[in-house]
Amino acid sequence: MKIRIHNARILTMADTAEPFIGEVNIAEGRITYVGKDKPTNDNIWDREIDAKQNLLLPGFKNAHSHSAMTILRSYADDLPLSEWLFERVFPVEEKLTEDDIYHLTKLAILEYLTSGITAIFEMYLNPEMIACACQEMGMRCVQVGAANNFGTTPKRVAELYESLNNVHPLTGYHLGFHAEYTCDEPLLLEVAELSQHYKAPVFCHLAETAAETEGCRERHNDMTPAAYLASLGIFDHGGGGYHCVHMTAADIAIFRERGLYAVTNPASNLKLASGIAPIADYLRTGVPVAIGTDGPASNNCLDFFREMFLVTGLAKVKEVDAAAVPAFSVLQMACVNGARAMGLNEAMTITIGSMADLIMIDLNQPNMQPLNHIANNVVYSGSKQNVAMTIVNGQILYEKGEFATGIDVEDIYENANKIAARIGGRE
């Protein structure tokens, strides 16, 4: 599909924080032109869009998601993490079928599109069904392995690494495991061997709670999760951790030295009372930070605007410094760093040759006026209501409140509710 979007404010995220007025051309899933508006022959475009000086941004990258946990939205609320996970989440997940995962993932994708999310870094059950759902819906998805003592093995992770990479332009797969506390050392050493074999990064949940960190110290000679996993060679080829709330200065140094990504999930960490990640420390020391929503069981909504605001707002409170973690740094985390963490280096900016994964933000709404500083408006006052268009791989999937995925939205809602009723996910 060939699309021309003109008369737009364009924030490329490649250099300056100041947008310029111009146009973006898209063909075959790539950006073919970015610059000033130019005369054109209408016949060459499948769609020509007057942006009316609304804002074009690279799409947000949700760098930590468990999409099919939509089944658990508002089901396991107001519980401490251990009880939430072991007594409520795991028992429901044991009942999920492959078809359930497929349908529940589609529900999450609809929500991602309304929030300007164009790619997800997904860790969940039945990766083949997740890939199928994402491909059918047009969503870009990089999955990460979830090896653990109770289900997925390192051998299975290796099989998925081989079978899900380089087979479809929208989907890929990274090595990973659930967390230190759900994996014994022989399993972790197998994951380290996979990383060495493929020379590939590894991702996992890490330092989410104080109890997790103290438990690791007790199990492993006073080593924190970051130190212990690094000692096993897990991070020799990069990767990172999800949450990274309870990190020591030595842990942060490990992340900096190895180029690891700290993926923060502020809404989830707040709701589960896990703590506030030291984002300002990461920025000061050069640790790259990306942002994730986590799953709908612990969030409960998949709203990237809320996540962005919380990243900076909580950092300011933690540092007792209103200047900490400025808005444009958060926008870089959302658009650029998430893409880098996922290996989507061609989806970071609005530049010629980049993947055509971008969003249009409606500036003609009260919460975005006046236009004193547009990038700051997006982070501090932006809302899902401002997402006028979401484009993935050159395809318009969401526009002005309507979905264009080729899938019946009411069918998705009906399937999700049937699954919830069958499993007993209502109270």
Give the tens place of pLDDT for each residue, 198-249.
999 999 999 999 999 999 999 999 999 999 999 999 999 999 999 999 999 9
pLDDT of residue 426: 46
Mean local confidence (pLDDT), 48-66 = 98
Neighbours of 322 (CB within 10 A): 8
Give the tens place of pLDDT for each residue, 398-422.
999 999 867 799 999 999 999 999 9
Mean of the per-residue pLDDT values of the chain: 95
Give the tens place of pLDDT for each residue, 313-331.
999 999 999 999 999 999 9
| Percentage of the chain lying above the pLDDT 90 cut | 90
For the chain, list the domains and their CATH numbers.
3-58+349-403 (2.30.40.10), 60-342 (3.20.20.140)
pTM for the model: 0.96
Of the given ranges (111-120, 239-248, 343-352, 403-412), which has the lowest mean pLDDT?
A: 403-412
pLDDT of residue 405: 67
Give the tens place of pLDDT for each residue, 160-181.
999 999 999 999 999 999 999 9
Tokens 């111009």 correspond to what residue? 22
Residue 3 pLDDT grade (very low, low, confident, very high; cuts 50, 70, 90): very high
Assess whether pLDDT exceeds 60 at residue 427: no
DSSP 427: -
* Residue 364: burial class (beta carbons within 10 Å; 0-12, 13-18, 19+): exposed
In this structure, are residues 175 and 205 in contact, taking their beta carbons and an 8 Å threshold? Answer: no
Give the tens place of pLDDT for each residue, 68-107.
999 999 988 888 777 887 888 889 989 999 999 999 999 9
